[in-house]
Amino acid sequence: MSNDAKVLADVVKDVHKELRQELNKTGDIESVWVNHCRNIARLKKYASSMHKLASEHWEQLRISNPATSRINWTWSFLQYYFFAGGLEIQRRKSNPHTVRPELILKEPKISVLDVGSCYNPFGEYEELDVLPIDLCPALGSVYHCDFLKIPIGEKSILDGQNVLSLATSHFHCIVFSFLLEYFPSSSQRWSCCEKAYMLLVEEGILIIITPDSKAAHSNTKVMRSWREALAAIGLKRIKYEKLQHAHCMAFRKVSVDTELTREDRELLAPKMYIPQDFHNRSDSDSETKNEVKFTEEELAEGFMYLPMLDE
């Protein structure tokens, strides 16, 4: 890995670490997030570092080894699901006797909401109608939006480069690529996924890609926990693949029989954990009923890695 790539990656990791430390110190996720959103200097430094890391260093790796690319993986899956029979296969698996209406594409294009887009990497595909949003866009082509706070309405409303609302049941695909680990709280990750469910059309796809350079089996507990939590809100995992530097998952929006209660949500939200959530906790904190126990080896690195060039 080049020294420049390492410096950029350290900037990204340090912001994640600082947010977790601030939450551990105050216990108030709302104030931590508000203060973070007001820290323009930190947001811009993060956005610039992520943009350069992804568009220069990761792009080199994408060209030399396409199988490592999260962008390639996402595009390949969307082609399969929407254009090559994947949707029909899932319909037959779930309920072969149910007659469903045709999923109508626009023009025909796949309507994509790319959350935490940074520099709109999916904009290169003509088959995609992409709305790229980010808390602090690296490029002017990406719209400013705090996905945690954005209201949902009958239609998406844009004002210049700002998003004022997003349309319910509108998007064929929502992409969370290296997004969820940004948040210091499992409740925030859970809220993002619940919002994605509301924004997706029926049978739409949520793509979640999260960084991990360890062996595929090293964080199976985490991936299983996410799968169980999202299934409860009607996001059924239909594809999982471990790339060299990331877990890649596709979840299909399906109907659920019962609406979740507040108590259900309080039990399910902690399932959207990452190992770092349990770092720097006191002994008393580790006894909470919802905490997941890890071995020392499992806690050693967790999701601390971001995909890099090979050393």
Binding site residue list: 116, 134
Q: Which residues are annotated as a binding site for S-adenosyl-L-methionine?
A: 116, 134
Paired tokens of 252 = 């299909």
Could you give the maximum distance between any two Cα atoms of the chain, in Å? 57
5: left (phi over 0), alpha (psi -120 to 50) or beta: alpha
Q: At 25, which helix (H) or strand (E)?
A: helix 3-26
Q: At 4, which helix (H) or strand (E)?
A: helix 3-26
Residues 22 and 184: beta-carbon distance below 8 Å: yes
Query: Residue 181, CB half-sphere, CA atoms under 13 Å: how many?
Result: 25
Q: CA Rg, the chain, in Å?
A: 19
Q: Locate tokens 């294009």: which residue? A: 109
- Bond into 137 cis (ω within 30): no
Contacts of 280 (CB under 8 A, 6+ apart): 20, 21, 24
Paired tokens of 229 = 């939590």
Buried b (16+ CB within 10 A) or exposed e, 241-279: ebbebbbbbbbbbbeeeeeeeeeebeebbbbbbbbbbbe
